[in-house]
Amino acid sequence: RKEVEQDPGPFNVPEGATVAFNCTYSNSASQSFFWYRQDCRKEPKLLMSVYSSGNEDGRFTAQLNRASQYISLLIRDSKLSDSATYLCVVIWNNNDMRFGAGTRLTVKP
| Interface residues toward other proteins, by CB under 8 A | 31-32, 34, 36, 42-46, 49, 85, 87, 89, 91, 93-99, 101-102
Residue 103 CA to residue 83 CA, distance in Å, equals 11
- Measured from the CB of residue 5, what is the shortest distance to other proteins in angstroms? 12
- Of residues 75 and 88, the one with the C-beta less far from other proteins: 88
- Measured from the CB of residue 102, what is the shortest distance to other proteins in angstroms? 6
Q: For 93, which DSSP code?
A: E
- Of residues 16 and 93, the one with the C-beta less far from other proteins: 93
- Measured from the CB of residue 16, what is the shortest distance to other proteins in angstroms? 27
- Of residues 17 and 26, the one with the C-beta less far from other proteins: 26
DSSP structure string for 39-90: -TTS--EEEEE--TT-EEETTEEEEEETTTTEEEEEE-S--GGG-EEEEEEE
Report CA Rg, the chain.
13
